[in-house]
């Protein structure tokens, strides 16, 4: 067990100031580069190692390119680290586990070869995208410690590190954040629920966590941002968006304005994956575990029976979080997921918005407690001579608002939110074009519908040429055009019927259809509204 480490006094955080990452964070980033997502074997091996740098050195020595005289002892040392890590984790190092571990190490070595350099301390600019993204590890004052709960099961693992755009202090600005999730194809009712819950949570100083996607996620983020209207920003909470890919691939593109506002208003965009990682469909389910773990209370605003929001709620239930679901019209499939969760006692019913404050803790100014001594391998590796650069990322002292700690106050104006049960569809209002409203009384503001792309944004988007897409994506575009030529609604089921006729080997089942559509949607090739897909106007 390493000794406790006390961090230096913190200075106020300047939003655009990205401090150099610690050696521990850099080596954890290098280990993350070797993975294909969350990896329990890497987590266990790291638990058995002195720190990430020591593990990295042993991985290097055990690489197939090394001579047998150095490689074999390194492989044995890796085995010992893995076995010891399993024991520390409360697991058993069985023969089957050890054999599986050796196969996994081979995959790590293959990915390791793609790094531009094995001298990790020289890759600080590469991992932080030339200083535009924060990189933090466990033990950092802004690390959300509730992520550690993800180690309660043998098949789960917390992130090794986090990449952040925006304000890292936002992650710890509230001791019990509020997660809000739901379907992408959300109705006006679901959008109103998500936006209203988020706005009231942020008004109480709480952090709102969601996934940055269209529909419910966007409504939740906008709701939190809108809480600053007519009020002192020093007492308003902010919002964090968790992404399924690297921060160089945040999307969808139509939420670009939203992501800019989150950064400007002292929120954060975060990912556990290296910046250039593509957000493949399977990674969204892993992303959901981070939303659930960061949340103390999770609200499902609206969800169908097969919505990914139910996956997030499942993670939250296993992590012993409080889960609420908004009931809805039993005749509409949009509400079937929430209604089933309530009926199955997997979620408590969100009864009313008038007393919504009862589902979370008392209101407070956003703050981050002054870091105390931290006892962990990660923290120890960031001290003394072991540190690449003393981690002095600015953090407010206990009880201090993260808004006060910023270089400029959050005076930016966000698009209005609706007060009725129906949210109007409008574009985000320019920052200087909105009149401030009184701090008290009901809001009469309307929620921006980010499904609509403003004319200016549309002109800026480049043309997408079908011939430049991967072959399977070209095939999906062709199937969509076949459906349109037959005057059929372009739904996943309709596309699967066409695929079974024209491309049964390339697109064998509905999961393949959904995965391809998800990738096309993220790249702006297709658009979806009310479950029906169409090609973007930029596709040629």
CATH of the domain at 489: 1.10.10.10
Same domain, 382 and 470: no
Same domain, 480 and 350: no
The Cα–Cα gap between 440 and 242 comes to 31
Is residue 193 within 8 Å of 161, Cβ to Cβ? no
Number of domains comprising the chain: 2
The Cα–Cα gap between 49 and 199 comes to 44
**What per-residue confidence (pLDDT) applies to 504?**
84
**What per-residue confidence (pLDDT) applies to 341?**
96
Q: Which stretches of the chain drop beneath a pLDDT of 50? A: 1-16, 368-460
Residue 481, preceding peptide bond in cis (omega within 30° of 0): no
- Torsion, Cα 366 450 286 261, to 10 degrees, reads -30
In-domain check, residue 179: yes
Same domain, 273 and 312: yes
Is residue 109 within 8 Å of 63, Cβ to Cβ? yes
Looking at residue 210, which CATH number applies to its domain?
3.40.50.450
For 400, the domain range is 1-21+128-452
**What per-residue confidence (pLDDT) applies to 461?**
52
Same domain, 474 and 446: no
Pair type for strands 268-271 and 134-136: unpaired
**What per-residue confidence (pLDDT) applies to 464?**
86
Same domain, 339 and 308: yes
Same domain, 436 and 303: yes
Same domain, 445 and 499: no
**What per-residue confidence (pLDDT) applies to 201?**
96
Which residues have C-beta within 8 Å of that of residue 197, sequence separation ≥ 6?
178, 180, 220, 223, 299, 301, 350, 353, 356
Same domain, 517 and 418: no
Same domain, 476 and 433: no
The Cα–Cα gap between 532 and 136 comes to 40
Is residue 180 within 8 Å of 220, Cβ to Cβ? yes
Sheet holding 134-136, edge to edge: 134-136, 162-166, 268-271, 239-242, 208-210, 178-181, 297-300, 322-325, 348-349
């Amino acid at each position: 067990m390493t000794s406790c480490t006390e961090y230096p006094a913190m200075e106020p955080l300047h939003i655009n100031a990205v401090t150099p990452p610690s050696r521990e964070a850099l080596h954890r980033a290098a280990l993350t580069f070797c993975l294909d997502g969350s990896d329990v074997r890497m987590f266990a091996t790291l638990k058995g190692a002195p720190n990430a740098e020591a593990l990295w050195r042993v991985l290097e020595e055990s690489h197939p390119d090394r001579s047998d005289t150095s490689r074999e002892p390194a492989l044995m040392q890796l085995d010992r680290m893995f076995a010891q890590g399993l024991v520390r984790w409360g697991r058993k190092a069985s023969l089957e586990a050890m054999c599986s571990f050796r196969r996994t190490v081979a995959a790590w070595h293959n990915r390791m070869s793609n790094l531009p350099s094995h001298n990790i301390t020289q890759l600080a600019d590469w991992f932080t995208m030339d200083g535009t993204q924060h990189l933090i590890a466990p033990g950092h004052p802004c690390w959300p410690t509730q992520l550690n709960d993800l180690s309660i099961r043998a098949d789960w693992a917390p992130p090794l590190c986090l990449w952040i755009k925006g304000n890292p202090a936002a992650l710890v600005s509230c001791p019990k954040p509020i997660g809000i999730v739901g379907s992408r194809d959300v109705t006006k009712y679901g959008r109103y629920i998500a936006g209203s819950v988020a706005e009231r949570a942020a008004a109480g100083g709480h952090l709102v966590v969601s996934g940055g996607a269209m529909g419910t996620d966007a409504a939740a983020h906008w709701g939190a941002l809108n809480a600053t209207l007519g009020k002192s920003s020093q007492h308003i909470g902010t919002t964090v968006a968790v992404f399924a890919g690297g921060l160089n691939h945040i999307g969808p593109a139509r939420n670009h304005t939203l992501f800019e506002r989150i950064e400007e208003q002292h929120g954060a965009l975060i990912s556990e994956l290296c910046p250039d990682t593509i957000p493949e469909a399977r990674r969204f389910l892993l992303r959901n575990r981070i939303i659930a773990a960061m949340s103390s209370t999770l609200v499902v605003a609206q969800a169908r029976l097969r919505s990914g929001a139910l996956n997030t709620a499942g993670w939250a239930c296993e992590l012993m979080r409080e889960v609420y679901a908004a009931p809805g019209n039993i005749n509409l499939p949009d509400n079937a997921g929430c209604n089933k969760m309530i009926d199955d006692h997997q979620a408590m019913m969100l009864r009313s918005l008038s007393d919504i404050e009862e589902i979370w803790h008392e209101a407070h100014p956003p703050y981050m407690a002054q870091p105390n001594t931290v006892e962990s391998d990660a923290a120890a590796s960031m001290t003394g001579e072991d540190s690449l650069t003393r981690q002095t990322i600015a953090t407010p002292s206990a009880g201090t608002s993260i808004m006060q700690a910023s270089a400029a106050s959050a005076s930016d104006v966000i698009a209005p939110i609706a007060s009725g049960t129906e949210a109007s569809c409008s574009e985000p209002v320019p920052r200087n074009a909105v009149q401030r409203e009184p701090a008290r009384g009901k809001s009469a503001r309307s929620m921006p519908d980010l499904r609509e792309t403003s004319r200016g944004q549309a002109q800026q988007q480049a043309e997408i040429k079908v011939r430049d897409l991967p072959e399977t994506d070209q095939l999906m575009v062709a199937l969509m055009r076949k459906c349109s030529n037959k005057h059929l609604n372009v739904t996943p089921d309709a596309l699967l019927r066409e695929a079974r006729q024209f491309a049964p080997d390339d697109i064998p089942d509905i999961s393949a259809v959904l995965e391809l559509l998800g990738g096309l949607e993220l790249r702006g090739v297709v658009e979806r509204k009310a479950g029906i897909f169409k090609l973007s106007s930029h596709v040629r």
